[in-house]
Amino acid sequence: MEPAAPESSRLDPSDLGHVVETTLAEATRRGASGAEAAAALSQGLSVNVRMGELETVEHTRDRSLIITVYFEQRTGSASTSDYSPASVKDTVQAACRIAEYTEADPCNGLADPDRLAMDFPNLDLFHPWNPSVDDARDMALECEQTAIDHDRRIENSEGASVSSHEGHEVYATTGGFWGEIRKTRHGLSCSVIGRDDSGMQRDYWFSSSRQAAQLDKPDVVGLEAARRTVRRLDARKIDTCKVPVIFEAPVASSLISHFVGAISGGALYRKASFLLDQVGQRVFPDFVQIYEQPLLKCAMGSAAYDSEGVTTSADNVVTNGVLQRYLLGSYSARRLGLETTGNAGGIHNLTAESGDQDLANLIGGLEKGLLVTELIGFGVNMVTGDYSRGAAGFWIENGQIQYPVEEVTVAGNLKEIFSGLCAIGKDVDTRRNIRCGSILIDGLTVAGD
């Protein structure tokens, strides 16, 4: 399932290093005290079908160059998709001109040299696939048809899609860092619509991996999309109540993402976070362990260095419920008087350690409660922690799912939600950069009729 692509279709990254070298040399020639440049090439194929017909075929081939220059404490950035010598010079000149008009900031500058990555382990991120359009179409058609055939109530489709993308990036600085990354990402998805006397419902499923061979089979994805759609039919509204709420694994990661946002440098130095000054304080119950695993092989968030070239390492973020550190790049760390944590550009396989219960066990332990399988909107105030989002899912009584629920709002405060976390299931979703199982929260307001 992973044949080598013909040479004519492969990316040609040979000029990336030369482009970066030329860019940095031009910045130095123009008097910059420091500079960083990132040149990237990417290509991909996306094939979409709907109701048994080929709908769209999209080939992409993109390139970019981003240059940031420093004139002591002033900085400017510019970008281009043209690698010609004239365009590179113009782009560097544009960045230098921008720097002339920016305010001096003592926190500006390249990452400290002693924090730069020196070792570059093979993280197994590059697995080119190169399916033909016909092969991708056939996979998508099988996926969609499996979903439609599953139940007569599946009467329409939003389509199925097969995608394959690969990229190559070179990042370097005048401070001596040089790094190259090659990675791939492949995907298969399906979304269908069901109808009964109560109306229509839709749901979807997808599989994503660095390796095409590790994708779920088309019939597996289609069947899960259909199953999730059919189970939502005949949904009801419920009265407003305060009950335990289970966030199914695919949506539970959104709770962790709010936590990530609250402990990220930008929110902290702007004092726009509900978790200010919380390092060393208990944020979750004592069984909660959250950590980064940047060097996992073949994982979605793996990287040997962050977007500034700072080395990454496996490290605890929450230990026994206590916040151990923030997530900082060099600039935000300087603003806060701290050290970078290697998180410029984001997190790396942030993992909420799971317990020994699967989703069925979590459901079985509730006398009454709500299982949330979809969240709608973004009613989250990151300054106060107030949380209110539309939701759909299933009502639970006596440890069993009773019926589907729609048009409800789940509300609370994130500080209380985090402290009220009762369990993290072992049904870990590894398709994203946040790796988390289903989460049980003890007591949220569910607003219905």
21-39 pLDDT, tens digit per residue, is 999 999 999 999 999 999 9
Same structural domain, 333 and 384: yes
Measured CA angle at 158 (ends 153, 160), to 5 deg: 105
Domain end call among 230, 257, 274: 230
Q: Answer yes or no: is pLDDT of 10 > 60.
A: no
Does residue 2 fall inside a structural domain? no
Full domain range(s) for residue 298: 235-449
Same structural domain, 328 and 447: yes
Measured CA angle at 271 (ends 76, 66), to 5 deg: 20
Q: Answer yes or no: is pLDDT of 6 > 80.
A: no
End-to-end CA, the chain: 51
User: In Å, how far are 82, 91, 108 from 98, measured between CA atoms?
Assistant: 19, 11, 14
Dist CA 436 CA 447 (whole Å): 26
Does residue 1 fall inside a structural domain? no
Dist CA 278 CA 152 (whole Å): 53
Residue 7 has what pLDDT? 39
Domain end call among 230, 257, 288: 230
Same structural domain, 226 and 239: no
Looking at residue 3, the DSSP 8-state letter turns out to be P
Q: Exposed, middle or buried, 62 (CB in 10 Å: 0-12/13-18/19+)?
A: exposed
297-343 pLDDT, tens digit per residue, is 999 999 999 999 999 999 999 999 999 999 999 999 999 999 999 99
The per-residue b/e assignment along 382-407, b for 16 or more CB within 10 angstroms, e otherwise, is beebebbbbbbbbbbeeeeeeebbbe
Does residue 253 fall inside a structural domain? yes
Same structural domain, 250 and 204: no
What percentage of the chain reaches a pLDDT higher than 90?
95
Provide the domain count of the chain.
2
Same structural domain, 249 and 198: no
* Residues across the chain: 449
Residue 70 has what pLDDT? 98
Q: Answer yes or no: is pLDDT of 198 > 50.
A: yes
Same structural domain, 335 and 197: no
Same structural domain, 219 and 254: no
Q: Answer yes or no: is pLDDT of 424 > 80.
A: yes
Cβ atoms of residues 232 and 404 within 8 Å = yes
Q: How would DSSP label each residue in 161-220?
A: EEEEEEEEEEEEETTS-EEEEEEEEEEEEEEEEEEETTEEEEEEEEEEESSGGGSPPHHH
Q: Answer yes or no: is pLDDT of 11 > 90.
A: no
Residue 378 has what pLDDT? 87
256-275 pLDDT, tens digit per residue, is 999 999 999 999 999 999 99
User: What mean pLDDT comes out for the span 435-439?
Assistant: 98
Same structural domain, 53 and 142: yes
Give me the CATH number covering residue 48: 3.30.2290.10
Does residue 52 fall inside a structural domain? yes
Does residue 212 fall inside a structural domain? yes
Cβ atoms of residues 74 and 196 within 8 Å = no
Same structural domain, 194 and 263: no
Q: Answer yes or no: is pLDDT of 61 > 50.
A: yes
237-258 pLDDT, tens digit per residue, is 999 999 999 999 999 999 999 9
Q: Answer yes or no: is pLDDT of 363 > 90.
A: yes
What percentage of the chain reaches a pLDDT higher than 70?
97
Phi, psi of 11 (to 5 degrees): -65, 150
User: What mean pLDDT comes out for the span 185-198?
Assistant: 97
79-116 pLDDT, tens digit per residue, is 999 999 999 999 999 999 999 999 999 999 999 999 99
Residue appearing with tokens 């990336």 = 16
Measured CA angle at 58 (ends 148, 8), to 5 deg: 125
Residue 12 has what pLDDT? 62
Residue 399 has what pLDDT? 97
Same structural domain, 15 and 83: yes
Dist CA 430 CA 350 (whole Å): 10
Mean pLDDT across the chain, nearest whole number?
96
Q: Answer yes or no: is pLDDT of 9 > 60.
A: no
Same structural domain, 402 and 338: yes
Same structural domain, 246 and 207: no
Residue appearing with tokens 């179409």 = 137
Does residue 62 fall inside a structural domain? yes
Domain end call among 180, 200, 230: 230
Dist CA 327 CA 264 (whole Å): 5
Dist CA 338 CA 261 (whole Å): 18
